Amino acid sequence: MSQRCSSSPPLLIRYLKQLLNSPGIPLPIFLHTSDNHYRTLARLITKHAWLYTEMIAAETLVHQQTNLDRFLAFSPQQHPIVLQLGGSNVENLAKAAKLSNAYGYDEINLNCGCPSPKVAGHGCFGVSLMLKPKLVGEAMSAIAANTDVPVTVKCRIGVDDHDSYDELCDFVYKVSTLSPTRHFIVHSRKALLGGISPADNRRIPPLKYEYYYALVRDFPDLEFTINGGITSVSKVNAALQEGAHGVMVGRAAYNNPWQMLGHVDTAVYGVPSSGLTRRQVLEQYQVYGDSVLGTHGNGRPNVRDLVKPLLNLFHSENGNSMWKRRADAAFKECRSVGSLLEESLRAIPDCVLDSPICETPESGEEDDVFANVQNVLPPRYEAGEQVILCA
């Protein structure tokens, strides 16, 4: 399978086609997916969810111009797909956007939410950009000037003590006024830059969905996607019913891809699912996996790289632990994805492998988490030109 998106139609036509093909726009689910292999699996399970790349530093693209396929190539089936850039150097972000044009991404997003000290501490990457909205506005304008696709920002609701609703609004107001950015993906917890790990930064600061819904109220001309702690399709729909424009799902899509992604097309987009069983998904994935084995050089991707995205496919099913153990043991001997699956899938009962996703997603205990949110919104934001003047 070619990893390169070679014969793309012109960008605008492709984008319009996607809008027409995706019922219910704008209600995308964004799945943050860290690798091409995971995205390939995700796309076999849902045809409609938007897929995100892992953050790629603008500098990496600028310095690896002879090696761009390694970072930017994806198979055409992965559309709609969003490229996420990281960086704070306006010139490099502009160059990176330009370099990505040949690959045909559907949207370019700037990461203003990553709290990792590796990025936030050096060169003002990630979430520390929330403290520099004017720079973000300039960066977004430069990115937009070098691409034909929409540009978006992913951010948190604040950083350290800069966590008031008004400060969040000032950020959104300045960035959207100074650049063509019309869509923000909001991880609804602040980031703490004082040395806690990225994983703790996704767990310890409390979620404040009321900030997200207040943005929806106070910026009616902008679009906002809610992110953070959305763990089931029924919770996705609960967020949408409460007025969210879109929902981004992160960890739940890794931890339980079948239950999370399998219901997206029917329960969120209102179209039939692929109807595939997990056996059929794995058969198709195996063809992909064995075709890309070793193609990046130095034996990568290897069987382990390619099977890793599959390991949670049988979350909480009979035989799950046994399948993981067998797969782990088989990594050492098996030279192909096909042989590894043949060896390890014997642990999973046929009834699990051969049943398509069930009609209705289970409702979760926390689906009413948004029920009271409209009663606890912060006071309305009053923006004005003075915000821009002080930027």
Ligand X SMILES: Cc1cc2nc3c(=O)[nH]c(=O)nc-3n(C[C@H](O)[C@H](O)[C@H](O)COP(=O)(O)O)c2cc1C
Residue number, 263 or 352, with CB nearest to ligand X: 263
| Phi-psi group of 9: left, alpha or beta (phi > 0 → left; psi -120 to 50 → alpha; rest → beta) | beta
Site for ligand X contains 108 (CB under 6 A): no
CA–CA gap between residue 383 and residue 165 (Å, rounded): 12
Site for ligand X contains 154 (CB under 6 A): yes
x-marked contacts with ligand X along 230-259 as a string, rule CB under 6 A: x------------------xxxx-------
Helix axes 90-100, 133-145, angle to 10 degrees: 30
Active site residue 334: no
Segment interacting with ligand X, rule: CB under 6 A, options 11-19, 168-176, 221-229, 337-345: 221-229
Residue number, 155 or 303, with CB nearest to ligand X: 155
CB 38 within 8 A of CB 309: yes
Residue number, 35 or 160, with CB nearest to ligand X: 35
DSSP letter, residue 355: P
Residue from 36, 84, 179, 266 binding ligand X (CB under 6 A): 84
Q: Is the peptide bond before 198 cis (omega within 30 degrees of 0)?
A: no
CB 103 within 8 A of CB 72: yes
| CB of residue 221 to ligand X, shortest distance in Å | 24
- Active-site entry in 5, 114, 155, 169: 114
| Phi-psi group of 297: left, alpha or beta (phi > 0 → left; psi -120 to 50 → alpha; rest → beta) | left
Q: Cβ–Cβ contacts within 10 Å for residue 368, how many?
A: 11
x-marked contacts with ligand X along 49-68 as a string, rule CB under 6 A: -----xx-------------
Q: % helix / strand / coil in the chain, to the nearest 5?
A: 50, 10, 40
Site for ligand X contains 158 (CB under 6 A): no
Please report the beta strands in 205-257, taking only residues with DSSP state E, as ranges in sequence order: 223-227, 246-249
Which residues contact residue 381 at a Cβ distance below 8 angstroms, ignoring those fewer than 6 apart?
165, 166, 169, 173, 214, 218
Residue from 3, 18, 34, 320 binding ligand X (CB under 6 A): 34
Position closest to ligand X via CB: 250
Residue from 39, 79, 95, 187 binding ligand X (CB under 6 A): 187
- 3-state class of 152 per DSSP? strand
CA–CA gap between residue 139 and residue 146 (Å, rounded): 11
CA–CA gap between residue 26 and residue 245 (Å, rounded): 6
Residue number, 239 or 282, with CB nearest to ligand X: 239
Segment interacting with ligand X, rule: CB under 6 A, options 136-144, 227-235, 304-312, 358-366: 227-235
x-marked contacts with ligand X along 111-130 as a string, rule CB under 6 A: x-xx----------------
Judged by CB under 6 A, the number of residues near ligand X is 19
Site for ligand X contains 39 (CB under 6 A): no
Site for ligand X contains 308 (CB under 6 A): no
| CB of residue 337 to ligand X, shortest distance in Å | 23
| Phi-psi group of 228: left, alpha or beta (phi > 0 → left; psi -120 to 50 → alpha; rest → beta) | left
Residue number, 155 or 216, with CB nearest to ligand X: 155
| CB of residue 6 to ligand X, shortest distance in Å | 26
Q: Active-site residues: which are they?
A: 114
The residues that touch ligand X, with contacts defined as CB under 6 A, are 32, 34, 54-55, 84, 111, 113-114, 154, 187, 202, 227-230, 249-252
